[in-house]
Structure 1
Amino acid sequence: MASIRQVQVTFDCAEPRRVARFWCEALGYVLQPPPEGFGTWDDFDSSQPPGDRGSWAVCKDPSGVGPRLYFQRVPEGKTAKNRVHLDVRVGTGLVGEERLAALEAECARLLPLGAVRGQLLLADEDNESCLNMQDVEGNEFCLD
């Protein structure tokens, strides 16, 4: 039986490019170049039927280590809590005040990009502190 070597995370959203740009900034990812034969994404979009323009975007880890993120336009809005979310690992190996400072610093960096701060969950016997947040369209993620 073959094992899976790559994972893509797909986001349903209203504005794929806007959400993709947020995640590029948040993770240090880059937008995927436009399809071959097109100099820009605007050139590609102008070749598509009006309803398909801007319907998807992709960002990827420039080092090739992290998963590819795919953003697809869907007609319905977000109505409930995500069943899956990303943990952005900014505090790995840190504990106590040092970890809280790392979480707060990353939160402060993401807020001007359109992120929304959620609840800070303090460390307990089983878990280290983490900070719940939302991206520009309300998709939950954690600073961990």
Structure 2
Amino acid sequence: MAYEYNPEFVLVCAGFDAAEGDRIGWGKLSACAYSQMTHMLLSLANGRVLEVLEGGYCLSQLNVCGSACVATLLGDSPVRCSEDAAKYPQDLVSLPTIRIIKNIHRPFWSSLFSIPVQDESTIDQLAESLEQKAMIKN
């Protein structure tokens, strides 16, 4: 969608509430994730990207994540993610939520074309399985 919109400038409210360890956002994003997202944004608007700090309450993560973003904006390679970072299970509502959002926006963005699948229940089954695992842990 961002490429299709083709902005002249990208302004980011860079909140780090979703950083690992933030007790308000309860997210699990690492400095690597923020650095990678910043790197992806630099491919838009001929690299004209401004990130403005607007949140994040875990000072140690704010320092690490903010520094990773600034370094990426200044031209350093994005922080490499460890293999363990990719092993986090998807949140039980993430996949169905993404599908719903794409369906809502699809009429307005040609980049959100639909790929026919024989059985869309796989995502729902995954969500149910993750929900059951979450109940067992709690």
**TM-score, normalised by the number of residues in structure 2:** 0.25
More helix by share: 2
More strand by share: 1
**TM-score, normalised by the number of residues in structure 1:** 0.25
